Structure formats: structure tokens, C-alpha cells
Structure 1
Amino acid sequence: MCRIARPHPFWPTAGQPLNLWPTQAAPALPDIPAPRPSGSRRRRLWELDSHAFCPVIGVCLPLDAVRALVQREQGAEAPTDDYGLHCEAIAASKRRTPLAERIQQALDTRYAEALRTTRAIKDTEALASWWRAALQGDGVAGALWATLTHAACDTLLEEQVLHDIHLLQHQWGAAERADRRRLRELQTAHERLQHSQGTLLARQAEQLQQQALRLEQLQASLVQLRGELIGRDTRIAQLSHALAQAQQASPDLAPRRELQAQVLALRERLVGLDRALRHARLAAAGPATLPASASACTAPAAAAAPVPVPLPWPALSQRAVLCVGGRSRAVPVYRHVIEREGAHFAHHDGGTEHSPAQLEACLAAADLVICQTGCISHDAYWRVKSHCKRTGKPCLFVEQSSRSGLQRALGLAHAAASPATPS
């Protein structure tokens, strides 16, 4: 920062080295003010007071512009450091030199607007008011040049202007230091934010990779589900087509099913009426006609199974015999034994593969039930037992799933149905 009011006694002239610790006091330099022009003509740069060059060069011209002007005038001999350029421009401005004229022209061109504004000002008071107003704005550099070179600027106003710009330069220096400190803080914060941003970008990239992998999995699942859906729709279409063909081939299928259900109901009713008639005949004949062997054979099995109604062995012909349970390999053997007696054979596995709901219909259509107690579920066993007990239908319980077991059970039924030999 240059001293404004008076030059420092130790301040060197242009071209002399700076001595901060002189061995003896330097002689005081006389302060010779430059002559002020008369009339309304603006003052030139070299016509200003000697202590006004430093603020004018330092404030009104950027350092790059000063360097360009000095290098254009002096070429390779121009100073290379910023402070040397500043001192060279000040020294050249104290008298009318080519460099001073170049600086004068550059200042007039740069602040032409401020110069046009001050042309209408004719007295010192108005110029001072305009200067005080300009200090509150942003065009301080242009106002400084226009005020110092104005014809109405007297010594007192020039002193006040230089004092104001001196204090303003201090404020600018403090503000610049604060700005630099703030800039360092912002740079530190910026580095932290960049680090955080890098971390977030890495995390985002990882999440995007995981989402891409998940999306691929979902797309694969979607393709699989679409394939299953197409297969299901194709199967539904095939079944619908087959159903339509079956309905077209057998238009009386629904009435036939209704008739079949009616036939089963009538058959069950007929069996019930036949059984009731048989019971009525036995009751009319009296208890003496009951064979003793029948009561003897059915007594041991009364605790485990319902008492079957004696069915005469010749009556097995043309009857419907239902076999519930048993092993699959024994079913053909049972069928051969039953059909050899002239009966109609039917089989239900007790709910393993056949529907449990079909068991009631099969029981209702049967005249004789053979229950495989060793190869049947508890639910099917109790269904058979409850139905036979409720309807009085003959039921044979076979423990062993074999030909001999079936023949033994049929033999017991035949012995129970045969009349007793008189003694």
C-alpha cells in the first residue's frame, strides 16, 4: 500500500533500490505540486500531484493492463515482477512520456462513461457530492479518475478523495484477506464434498449393479412364468376343444349322467326294499327259524364289525359286490373270484387314488361290501361301517389281502347263510 498524503522519506525514486533500514536519515524531498490548469480543461495524468499516481495506477488500471502497456513501450527491458511494473508506471506518469500518454488514453477509454457523466458538473461542491455518491456504488475506479482529472477538483477535494480511496484500499485489503480465508474454507469444504460425492457415486454404482442383477433375475422369472402361463392356456384350450368335441359327439351326456344318478338312487331304494322284505319274512317265520350257526359265527365278530345280514350263497349271482381297500396287486384276484360266482365286481381303494366322495355312491350301488381292514384308511373304514350299519347291507371284513383270505370270508358268509342240519 502506498502512502497518499506525503511520500515516505525512505521511499526510493524510480530506478533506485529499496532500503528499509537506512544507516542515516535520508534528506527530506521537497513537495512541489504540479501547476493546475486554468479554465474548464480536464487535467492530464502527468498534471496530477505526485502522491496521486500510486492510487490512480493501482486502483484504476488492472495489473494485466499495466503490464501490457509497459511491455509495449519498453519491450524486453520492461520489469518482470508486478511491483516493478507498478513502480515503472508511476515513474513514467510523473512527466509527459509516451508511456504516460498511453496510460492516459487507456484510462480515458476505460472510464469514458464516468467522464461523460461529470461533464455536466461545473462546481466543486457538486463534484464532491457526486464523488460521495459514487463511493457507495461499484464504479469507484472510474469515479476516482473522473474526479481527480476534473477541472473543478481543487486541492481540498483532491486531498479528501485520496483519503477516501486510501481507507477504501484498506477495506478492500481486509475484504480480500477475508475472501481468501473464505476461499480456503470453501476449497476444504469442496474437497470434502468431492470425497463424499465419490463415496456416494461408488455406492450408487454398486446399487445400480445390484438392481441390474435383480432385474435380470426378475426378467428370467417373468419369462419362465410367461412360459408356464402359455402352457396353461394351451392346456386349457386343448381341454376346452376336447370338451367341445365330447359334447358334440355325445349331446346326451348330461341327461345320461342324470339318468345314471337316478338309477343309482332307485337301485339303493330297491335294495332297501328287498332287505326290508327279507327282514319282514324272517320276522314272520319266527325266531326258531334262525340258524344257530349264524349266531355262533357272528358273535365273535360283533365287537369289531357290524353284524352282516345273512346272504344266501346262491343269491351272490347277478349281485353287485364292492371291494373297499386292499393292495392293487390283489384286485385282479378278487375280481376273478367274485366274477367266477356270477357277480359284478367293483373296487374302491379307500381314498388313496380314488376320491372319497365316490365311496358313498359305490356303497349305495353295491349289494355286498368286502372291506379290507388291513389295507384301508380310518376314514374309509368308518364310512363303510356306518353305511352298512345304517342300511343293513351285508359286509365282509377281510384281514388278509389274499385269495385265501377272501375265500375264507366268503366261506363264512356261505356257512352263515346255509340252514342248520337237524339233529
Structure 2
Amino acid sequence: MNAPIFLKQPAPGVFPQDGASAARPLAIMPETAIKPVKRSKLWELKSKYHCPIIGTCLPMDELVKFARRFAFGVSLRDEFSMHTEAAGRSGTRNEMSEAIQKHLDRKYQACLRRFEQAKNDAGVLAIWREHHACGEVSGAMWAALTHKAASEETRQVVYADVHMLSHQMGAGQAADARRLIHLEKENIELKSLVEIERLARVSAKATLREELRSLRQNAAGQHVEPAEIIALRERLAAFESGQAMIDMGRRLMNLRAALEQQLIAVQRGAEMEKKLIVLDGEIRALRAERDQLAAERDALERIFISPEMPPETDNGGCDGECHSCGKRGKIGCVLYVGGRTALVAQYRSMAERLGIRLTHHDGGQGESVSRLPDMINSADAVVCPTDWVSHNAYYQLKRQCKRSGKLCVLFKGAGVSSFAAVLSNLQDPRAALAAQDGGLQQGIIERPKTFVRTPA
């Protein structure tokens, strides 16, 4: 049993400076008496670690099983959407996150036992670097991120190493695959050449033996030129001594050198073809970007050239549901979820020029996502840049719009020009009425040209 340790001379400032308590010795319990903390759970980690854990520690077949088991709201063929939903659900404690926690603990229990040897943060980092140098990343990352002694700095090192390793592995696997295809093809061709040479040598040897036997039979009954017999014997001796094999090896080496030159020429042609494909893709991307910028430019011109309209606050008792009403399909209040907080003032100014009142939610960066339902219910339409919003806010937005039947526009790009194109199309009565009456399914659009509403 461990006994407490007493300090005879207390350190200055540790004890109060009164009489009895100042002279009282300090009892310090040894480190073994301190109860160790537990390993971190999946939902206790920061949200940025969920993406590499799901992508690295769970192969796609295991992720499909979890998606089917916990009824993901996406297609099982859409790998990115399954990854996104799993990462989003891992941020809270639920049945799915608990199941993934148990599965990874059971799958990587060998790595967990190895990391239990580390008693401090430096030990965790040292063991991680050993596994990272050997290429054993998935189990080591899970054990390091959830280790009870791992600091936030160590977790950041693990996160950065895995992030860079994913880029390197993608490029390396493509190069290895191309190299393996060339080597397998070359191996097959060389085997074919060797087999052809071997069969030719066997056939030639049999022919010489037959000729020699025939000549000997003829020599018994008639005179045969000695020079012809000597030549045949020399050829036969060359085959039997292996000299013929040496000559065939030289020919095979020459053939191999010629084959290598042909492979180099073919490889150059393939590289040029790939470069042409890449350039063609870049040209198409530039054309698409040009068209998108032109559309955004036109939207900005329509907004800033048109006269500024004040937001409508009184509808005069009209709810805008009549087919002959001029207010039918008009948007009075728009909720903007996510985007760049620094541009909110410009978003609002642009909306006010069109007579639209704009409300904003930062998409979970600083505001709570629990405010989204009330804000969605109070708006006529909801717009959201999908590349500037958190996972939780994104799924909360989709669920609430589906329940309430709100007009919802999901687009890419949080710039002012993209928002201008969205507002311009929102002001188009034909697009708004088609979205309200058509009952189309909700979806993500890269360019804000189509507006869709989830059915009530």
C-alpha cells in the first residue's frame, strides 16, 4: 500500500501565513492514487476529426452496412453523401455514433493495446510516428485521436499527417497502376518470345538429327562428301554445347531492346493523349466558368440598374394565393443560411434593392442551429451556399424545409455575384410559380437557374 509523502519545508505561497496552518506539513498523494481519465469517444472529438476517421477507418463496404442499418437519407450508391451524413451524425451521441465507436474499438483493439503503453502526450506522438512511417495509419489514427493522454496539438499533427497522406496515396496509386500494366504486358511478350525460341531450337535440333541419321545411312551405301558431314556435326555440337542458346539469348536481348523502344514511343503517345484530354477538360471548365460569370454579371446589372424597391410590409389583406393576383409567387422575406459573414451587409443591401427583406444565419459557425426552424418558418424562401455551411446546419435546413414546404435554393459559391444570380431568379415570377405549383424534389444546383420546393 502506497503511503503519502510529506514535505518538511512547504514551498512559499502554498500555505496561508497564519500560525498553526503555516507550520502544518503538506500531504501529497503519489501519482498512482490519481484516477486516470477515460479515452475520448467519437462524439467528444472535434467535428473536423470525424471526416478523416469515417473516410480512413471505415472502408466503403462497412460504411454501406451502417448506412443501411441506420437508414441514411441518401442513396447507397452515392459514396460522398453517405460519408457526409456519417460525419455529420458522429458529432452527437446517438445509436449510429455509439455503434461506430464499438466497431472501431473492436476492429483496432491491437493498436489500442499498443497505444496504452504511452503514459503521456509525447509517448502517444512517438508511437503515432512509428506507425505513420510504416504506413499503418487507420488503426493508429483511431488510437491516437481517442487516447486519454493525447493533447490537441498531437491530434492536430495526426490530422495533418493523414490529410497529406491521402493526397500522396492518390497520386502514387495511379502511377503504380500504370507501371504495373506496362510491366505485365512486357512480361507476357517476353514469355511468348522465349517460348517461340525454345520451340524453334527443339525443332531445329530434331531436324539436324534426322538429317545426320539420313546421311549416315546413305554413307553406308555410297560416297558422301566429308565436308557436308562435318558441317552437320558442327551444328549439332553447337546445339549440344549450348552455343546456340547463347546466340538465341543475344537475339532475345536485341528483341527486348527494340520492344523497350516501342514501349517508350507508345508511352509518349499515351501521355500526349492524356495531356490533350486534360487541356480539353480545362477548356470546357473555362467555358462553363465564362458562362456562369456572364450570367452573374447579367444578374448584377439587372439588380443595380433597376430602381430600388422598398420591402413590402402590408399586403392589404391579400395572401397572394389567387391565380390572377399580381403578388402571387413574389418573395417578400428570404433566409440566407451560411455564407461569408463579412458579406452579409452587401447581401442585405442587394436584397433591399429588390424589395426583399433578408435574414441571416451563419450556418453553425457561431449561432446555434436550434434557431433554424423558427427562422425558416418566418421566411418565404431559403437560400444556402452548400460549400459555406456546416454539416449539421445543412441537414437541419433540408429536414425543416421538407416539413414546412418552404421554397429552398441550394447552390455553390458564397460570393456576391452568386447571390445576385439567386435573387434575380427568385424575382422571376415564372420560376417562382413553377417551383410553388410543380411540387418538385429538392436538390443542389451549381448555378441558380432552377428553384425547387419540397412537397408539404
Which has the larger Rg?
Answer: 1
Normalised by the length of structure 1, the TM-score is 0.38
Quick one: higher RCO (CA 8 Å, sep 6+), 1 or 2?
A: 1
Normalised by the length of structure 2, the TM-score is 0.36
